[in-house]
Structure 1
Amino acid sequence: MHAVRLHAFGPAENLVHEKTEDPVPGPGQVRIAVAAAGVHLLDTAIREGHQGPLPALPDLPTVPGREVAGTVESLGEGTDPGWLGKRVVAHLGNAPGGYAELAVTDAARLHEIPDGLDATAAVAMIGTGRTTMGILQFTALGPESVVLVPAAAGGIGTLLVQYARNAGATVVGLAGGPAKAAAVAANGADLAVDYNLPDWPEQVRTFLGERRATVVFDSVGGEPGRAAVDLLGPGGQHLVFGWSSGGLHEGGPLTFTEEELAARGITSEGVLGPAMLGRVGGDNPVRVLETRALAEAAAGRLVPAVHRFPLSEAAEAHRALERRGTMGKVVLEP
């Protein structure tokens, strides 16, 4: 098979599309003929040698990528034969291997792709979609809500805008550049603003009039994130799930002291990791979120935006993601 392999940590150029041996499924595993592989910002940090939230960096050489969709074409010993030939999607967990024509994973991780959903949409929902569903547990949106979404042209941002609109909320989407702002408007935001413009907070204040934002979904941090929080009214929520303005492995999320929060009359909360999974509960909260995400997409209530690259151009996909030159979920297609 052909795969994208990383032989040394470093720049995107270190990702090499080359021929390698086919992976072999072990007991309880399947091998998937990959139709779509998800690319995550975390992949770029790992490629540079930053471990991030993972327990350890992968051994080299490695095939990056932890999200795949395709068709089961081979089974390991003891695997349910009913999976053979099924269209499936899976998050591989901490085990890489997604940037390839073939990928192996445990059958327990598989979801059958619902009818009417293509592989690229499915792979977007198995990672980005499940995170979105987890974030949404931290707030109740309705017609009285005024939602502010920085990075509204990104994979999660696109879904948050759609969900908030479906709930009847007023939605303000922020994005970097006129093209991204136009995409946010087309996605249904009531106001789409280019946060590269110095007067963007005034644009939002003018649009809202006497109203104030009730929720900020913040994956950006930095100055844009702080300016967004300044638009929150008393009782507002600042929900934090990233800090892309400083790079994934630099800086940290936007934080406030208890005194600052009390003075503003708002709350600020990190929503990833144990906080998110604890809200879901059950024996397998991650799978619960994956199932919810796929159901929302299958029903047409959430439609992920996808930015496609050929598998052979994985290095360019990483470069584009790092310079914020993508919109929606980045997906590689063999």
Structure 2
Amino acid sequence: MRAVRLHTFGPAENLRYERADDPVPGPGQVRIAVAAAGVHLLDTALRQGMTGPYSAPAELPTIPGREVAGTVEALGAGVAAGLLGKRVVAHLGMVPGGYAELAVTDTGRLHEIPECLDEAEAVAMIGTGRTALGILLRADLRSGDIALVPAAAGGIGTLLVQYAKNVDATVIGLAGGPAKVARVAENGADLAVDYTLPDWPARVRRFLRDRGADRSAGLGADQGATVVFDSVGGAAGLAAVDLLARGGRHLVFGRSGMGPDDGSPLAFTAEELAERGITSESVLGPAMIERAGGLRALEERSLAEAESGRLRPAVQRFPLAEAARAHRALETRGTMGKVVLEP
């Protein structure tokens, strides 16, 4: 098979498209002819040899990628014959191998792809979709909430905007550059703002005052945004938090940054939170994994939301052979929606 392999940690150029041995499914496993493989920002960090609380250093050489969709084309021992030929999607967990024409995984990780979704859309929902659902269920958005969504043109941001509008919340979406801002507006945000412009917080304040959200001379003293979905951290994340009303919630699920000096996670002391009158919490890790039904329940609901049409994933597709270009685009914020590789 053809695959993208990493032999040395480092820049995107270290990803090499080459021949590799076909994987063999073991007992209880299937082999999938991959039609789409998901690319995650975490992949770019792992490529550089970085680790985190839920990731370990890869053993080199490695085939990156943990989200795949395609057709079951071979069965391991003990697997029901009825799975052969099924269109499936799976999150591979901590086992990489997705950037390839073939991938193996346990049958317990499989979901059949709804007929209305193509493989790239299914990949978007199995990883990005389950994360978005976990965040949203924690947020418990209601009609009348005002949600501020940084990185609103990204894979998760796109789904956050849609869900918030489905429950009749007011949505302010931030994105970088005219094309992304236009995409956020098309996706239904009540206000789409270009965060690369220095006056973007002032634009949001004017919007909130025009909607009657500000009852005092100083926005935030009584009302402003009720929820900030913070995936960026740094100065941009702090500027978003400054737009929260008293009683607002700061939900953290990333630290990608929005500029060359951004990217550090925001952390507030108990005294700072009390002074602002807000709460702040991370909604990844145990907060998501320990939910009733775990990650699989989130995957099932994510796919069901897409099948119903309530959520519509945005996908940006790259050829498998151009995985390095996909990584560079992610790292320079040059993508919109979920990044997917197609053999």
TM-score relative to the length of structure 2:
0.94
Q: Between Structure 1 and Structure 2, how many residues are aligned?
A: 329
CA displacement, residues 118-138 of structure 1 (integer Å, 9 cap, x when unaligned): 101100000000001100122
Q: Does 1:281 align with 2:292?
A: yes
2:219 aligned residue: none
Distance in structure 2 (CA, Å) of the matches to 1:315 and 1:205: 40
Q: Does 1:304 align with 2:313?
A: yes
Q: Does 1:144 align with 2:144?
A: yes
Distance in structure 2 (CA, Å) of the matches to 1:5 and 1:176: 31
Q: 1:258 aligns with which of 270, 289, 293?
A: 270
1:80 aligned residue: 80
2:28 aligned partner, one-letter code: G
Distance in structure 2 (CA, Å) of the matches to 1:62 and 1:26: 19
Q: State the shift of 1:277 in Å.
A: 2.4
1:98 aligned partner, one-letter code: G
1:317 aligned residue: 326
Distance in structure 1 (CA, Å) of the matches to 2:309 and 2:19: 38
Q: Is the 8 A contact 1:42 1:52 kept in 2?
A: no
Q: Does 1:225 align with 2:237?
A: yes
1:208 aligned residue: 208
Deviates more, 1:256-265 or 1:126-135: 256-265
Q: Is the 8 A contact 1:45 1:52 kept in 2?
A: no
Q: Does 1:240 align with 2:252?
A: yes
Aligned counterparts, 1:119-158, within 5 A: 119-158=119-158
> Could you say what secondary structure the match of 1:244 adopts?
coil
Q: Is the 8 A contact 2:5 2:17 kept in 1?
A: yes
Q: State the shift of 1:281 in Å.
A: 2.1
Q: State the shift of 1:25 in Å.
A: 0.4
2:313 aligned partner, one-letter code: P
Distance in structure 2 (CA, Å) of the matches to 1:91 and 1:277: 14
1:228 aligned partner, one-letter code: A
Aligned counterparts, 1:177-196, within 5 A: 177-196=177-196
Q: Is the 8 A contact 2:143 2:169 kept in 1?
A: yes
Distance in structure 2 (CA, Å) of the matches to 1:53 and 1:45: 13
Q: Is the 8 A contact 1:145 1:215 kept in 2?
A: yes
2:170 aligned residue: 170
Q: State the shift of 1:255 in Å.
A: 1.2
> Could you say what secondary structure the match of 1:254 adopts?
coil
Q: State the shift of 1:260 in Å.
A: 1.0
Q: State the shift of 1:139 in Å.
A: 2.0
Q: Is the 8 A contact 2:228 2:244 kept in 1?
A: yes
Q: Is the 8 A contact 2:49 2:58 kept in 1?
A: no
The 3 A distance-change label for structure 1 pair 184 and 246 is: closer
TM-score relative to the length of structure 1:
0.96
Q: State the shift of 1:234 in Å.
A: 1.0
Q: 1:271 aligns with which of 283, 286, 299?
A: 283
> Could you say what secondary structure the match of 1:65 adopts?
coil
> Could you say what secondary structure the match of 1:272 adopts?
coil
> Could you say what secondary structure the match of 1:220 adopts?
coil
Gap runs ≥5 in structure 1? none
CA displacement, residues 178-221 of structure 1 (integer Å, 9 cap, x when unaligned): 11111100111000000111100110011111411000000011
Aligned counterparts, 1:41-120, within 5 A: 41-120=41-120
Q: State the shift of 1:246 in Å.
A: 7.9
Q: Is the 8 A contact 2:233 2:263 kept in 1?
A: no
Q: Is the 8 A contact 1:246 1:252 kept in 2?
A: no
> Could you say what secondary structure the match of 2:96 adopts?
coil
Distance in structure 2 (CA, Å) of the matches to 1:35 and 1:61: 23
1:223 aligned partner, one-letter code: A
Q: State the shift of 1:331 in Å.
A: 0.2
Gap runs ≥5 in structure 2? 214-223
> Could you say what secondary structure the match of 1:245 adopts?
coil
Structure 1 runs, 4 residues or longer, greater than 4 Å off? none
2:198 aligned residue: 198
> Could you say what secondary structure the match of 2:204 adopts?
helix
2:283 aligned partner, one-letter code: V
Q: Percent identity?
A: 73
2:339 aligned residue: 330
CA displacement, residues 219-260 of structure 1 (integer Å, 9 cap, x when unaligned): 01111110111111011000000000189xx96421111111
1:268 aligned partner, one-letter code: S
Q: Is the 8 A contact 1:67 1:92 kept in 2?
A: yes
Distance in structure 2 (CA, Å) of the matches to 1:275 and 1:35: 32
> Could you say what secondary structure the match of 2:327 adopts?
helix
> Could you say what secondary structure the match of 2:316 adopts?
strand
Distance in structure 2 (CA, Å) of the matches to 1:53 and 1:79: 33
The 3 A distance-change label for structure 1 pair 290 and 251 is: same
